Amino acid sequence: MSSFSFGEFAEKYFKDHKDDLQKHYPGIAPRRLKQELEHFCLEFQINIEDLFESRYVPTLNSPIQRFFDLLAKGTPLEYIREKAYFYRSEFTVNPDVLIPRSETEILVELGVQELKDWQKKTDENLRLCDIGTGSGAIVLSLLQEVDRPIDAIATDISRKALKVAKRNFFNLRYKIQKKSSVHFIETDRLKDITEKFHVIVSNPPYIMKNNDRELVHDQVDLFEPHVALYLNDETYFSWFNSLFKSVYEALLEDGVFIMEGHEDHLQKLGDLARENGLSHVEIIQDYTERDRFLIARKKWIK
């Protein structure tokens, strides 16, 4: 039987696994891990203060042991906690969806601006589409930011991802106008979608499976869904060509498309967007000054 208190056990664990923890969670301090543990305990209604004081006997299959097992594997903290913060909300996440990234918040800001501009130009409900919605982070954030009701469609090729997005819609429903709606549709990009939109947003998979793989962090490759990350090198540009073609068809006159993309490929994707009839193409950088977003418009007069 152990005569360790849990506090002592945790301290020893952090000391013994310091190198692995730093490898998987760069810059992490014991304080942050204690916070994560607190969140984890909250789920299981374990009182953390009592826990730290009490004698600790590691037992197989206990929730606490599960926390340390997931940590030892390098599981992203968001997947352990099943929560990620994005823009102004907390989203449920699991390994079926990408963990929403802070740089994608710039895409939301760009989308808010475009929706607000449309609000001045029309009295009708705004129409928004999110291609590859994942956890729903982008569309559900946008829906919270505009006064006018929005009719939104969010597509994803992954049924499991859509299940998570629907759950997030349910959890955030009180932050979204009653008159707004989101239809979650399982499809490839915009296939069989006949509606037209004022604004289309997308953070599609944009890493070339072979060419760009080297720069992908091991933890990302190991834990996040590959369907959310990678496209085949050989079909990369034809995949985007079809996307731009269908986006052009689905935009209303003066409509705008905002997409996140890979720093090494966005300039070429800008040319492809132009070839598909889109105009006023701009490439926008993220906080690290890397090309990250593409904005393109549908205008009769170019």
Ligand X SMILES: C[S@@+](CC[C@H](N)C(=O)[O-])C[C@H]1O[C@@H](n2cnc3c(N)ncnc32)[C@H](O)[C@@H]1O
Interface contacts to ligand X, rule CB under 6 A: 97-98, 100, 104, 131-135, 137-138, 155-158, 161, 188-189, 203-205, 227-228
| DSSP code, position 89 | E
3-state helix, strand, coil in the chain (%, to 5): 45, 20, 35
Smallest gap from residue 280 Cβ to ligand X (A): 24
Give CA 135 to chain center in angstroms. Answer: 6
Helix (H, G, I), strand (E, B) or coil at 146: coil
Return the closest-CA partner of residue 130 out of 148, 146, 107: 107
Smallest gap from residue 174 Cβ to ligand X (A): 22
Tokens of residue 240, six digits: 């985007």
Smallest gap from residue 287 Cβ to ligand X (A): 16
Nearer to ligand X, 131 or 278 (CB): 131
Nearer to ligand X, 140 or 281 (CB): 140
**Which amino acid makes up residue 42?**
L
Smallest gap from residue 122 Cβ to ligand X (A): 26
Nearer to ligand X, 56 or 293 (CB): 293
* Beta carbons within 8 Å of 88's beta carbon, 6+ residues apart: 141, 144
What are the phi and psi torsion angles at 284 (to 5°)? -115, 145
Angle, CA 231 vertex, CA 227 and CA 237 arms, to 5° = 145
What are the phi and psi torsion angles at 249 (to 5°)? -60, -35
Nearer to ligand X, 180 or 246 (CB): 246
Nearer to ligand X, 9 or 257 (CB): 257
Smallest gap from residue 134 Cβ to ligand X (A): 3
